[in-house]
Amino acid sequence: MATIFLISLFGLIFINVPIAIALLGTTAVMMALSSGISTQILTQGLIRGIDNYPLLAIPFFMIAGEIMNVGGISKRVVTFANALVGHIKGGLGYVTVISGMIFAGVSGSAIADTAALGSVLNPVMKDKGYDPARSAGLICAAGCIGPIIPPSIPMIIYGVTANVSIIKLFLGGVIPGILVGIALMIIWYFHSRKRGYESAPRAPFREVLMATLDAFWAFMLPAIILGGIIFGVMTPTEAAVVAVVYAFVVSMFVYREMRLADIPEIITAAMKSTASVMFVVGGATSAAYLITTAHIPEMLADFILSFASDVYLLMLFINILLLIIGCVMDTAPAILILTPILVPVVVSYGLDPIYFGVVMVMNLCIGLMTPPVGAVLYIGSGFSKLSIYRLTQGMFPFIVAMVVVLFVITYVPELVMITTRLVK
């Protein structure tokens, strides 16, 4: 049955069937070959998968991200970062990473963050004579910090699928996300020295102060989200709603850059993104039922156990598997398909599923940057007007840096777990 599952799923994906349809098709094939399973499982799983309260956070975080881009919040974050570090040689690269880390505290979506960074920073970096492929690659890499630093849409999906604390997952991503940002800046530092980029004049103190004050309301948004979650004032879903309300009020009445006429476009964009994610969630839930009844997790566990003599080899094999899967599958379906299979394996080795969730999400975030199906890769190609091949070349050093950080957090679990102890 495991062979049928894999052949059906990847066969449908290979012929460009959308992931959600491929999951439902695979479920139908497995049902047809199994005895005593009602066909109602297909529709029941589809509805049950999306009828989950924590998943309500996804559309609200997406709306908050759209409002952030339209309402001037993103622009002010970039202006602040530029005033702070723009005078350093290759300063716009550091501005990109810092802005990406701040954006990550709002939307939880790599695609939304990359699109926001690209629209604001790519034209400026191009005008300054920066290498087009390397600068676009940095923008894409900085955007991929989005799902690692909380809030995180992939972590919400993992938390629901693995039935673990989403709040602890969020907290577990803080240090890994910061480490990724530092690693990207180190790579950019050596690139800037090699290319000899000119440094801009240092912004006077008054300009830095004005940029800080102007961005104050923008900084309060991630502070409210994270503070509310950490101190138990809000659940992640409630925090997402608060983020929408706050972003709306600031964009409409403080910055005054969003109009009521923009709301339909914002809602439509968020609806499209949410619908695609939820359809995949429903399809994966249907497939997960048959995966479990066919004992595929147990079979895979036995297979891995036959090769992994200890926990270090286990995580090495899993990281390699996830990096490969990330190249050919988007984040949400990969989490939904692999979580029920891999979590029992890692738990049997005594590993914490919270730690594993952060490692898994970071693995798949790297996959967002890699061909042939990396969603962020195509966003980057769109705003930079570069070919996928050329952009991939520009991204390569940043991908290597993220892989290094991935293995650091894999073999030093305390970097993930230390922040989770802030909540019970």
Q: Are 87 and 203 in contact (CB under 8 A)?
A: yes
316 band by pLDDT with thresholds 50, 70 and 90: very high
pLDDT tens profile 386-399: 888 899 999 999 99
Please answer whether residues 62 and 49 qualify as being in contact, where contact means their C-beta atoms are separated by less than 8 angstroms.
no
pLDDT band at 3 (very low <50, low <70, confident <90, very high): confident
Q: Residue ranges per domain, the chain?
A: 18-25+39-422
Q: Which of 347, 325, 346, 327 is nearest to 336 (CA)?
A: 325
Give the phi and the psi of residue 229 in degrees, each rounded to 5. Answer: -75, -50
Residue type, 407: F
Identify which has the larger pLDDT, 169 or 22: 169
Rounded distance between C-alpha atoms, residue 357 and residue 166, angstroms: 10
> Cβ of 14: how many Cβ atoms within 10 Å?
10
- What pLDDT is stored for residue 225 in this prediction? 83
Residues near 124 by Cβ (< 8 Å), separated by ≥ 6?
92
Range 155-194 burial, b when 16+ CB lie within 10 A, else e: bbbbbbbbebbbbbbbbbbbbbbbbbbebbbebbeebbee
What is the Cα–Cα distance from 92 to 22, expressed in whole angstroms? 42
- 102-106, 133-137, 287-291, 338-342, range with the lowest pLDDT: 287-291
Q: What percent of the chain has pLDDT over 90?
A: 28
- Tell me the average pLDDT across 410-414: 96
Q: What is the reported pLDDT for 383?
A: 85
pLDDT (average), residues 196-223: 85
Residue 314 burial by CB count (10 A; 0-12/13-18/19+): exposed, middle or buried? buried
Helical axes 331-348 vs 19-32, angle rounded to 10°? 60
Residue of 79, 88, 94 whose CA lies nearest to 201 = 88
The DSSP annotation for 188-216 comes to HHHHHHHHTPPPPPPPPHHHHHHHHHHTH
Answer yes or no: are the C-beta atoms of 269 and 279 closer than 8 Å. Answer: no
- pTM: predicted TM-score of the whole model, two decimal places: 0.81
- Are residues 394 and 380 in contact, defined by beta-carbon separation less than 8 angstroms? no
Q: Is the confidence at residue 42, as pLDDT, over 70?
A: yes
Cα separation, 26 vs 395, whole angstroms: 34
Joined tokens for residue 42: 């297909």
Tell me the chain's radius of gyration from C-alpha atoms.
21
The DSSP secondary-structure symbol of 253 reads: I
Q: Which of 3-7, 84-88, 137-141, 167-171 has the lowest mean pLDDT?
A: 3-7
Lookup: tokens for 352: 């914490």
Look at residue 23 in the predicted model and tell me its pLDDT.
78
Q: 371 is written with which tokens? A: 């061909």
Measure the CA–CA gap between 39 and 144, rounded to whole angstroms: 39
Quick check: 36 pLDDT over 70? no
User: What pLDDT shows up at residue 356?
Assistant: 96
Please compute the mean of the pLDDT values over residues 40-66 and round it to a whole number: 78
The Cβ-side half-sphere exposure at 281, using a 13 Å CA radius, reads 24
Q: Between 269 and 54, whose confidence is greater?
A: 269
Residue 277 has pLDDT above 80, yes or no: no
pLDDT at 167 over 80: yes
Name the burial class of residue 373, with classes exposed (0-12), middle (13-18) and buried (19+) by CB atoms within 10 angstroms of its CB: middle
Q: What is the pLDDT of residue 63?
A: 87
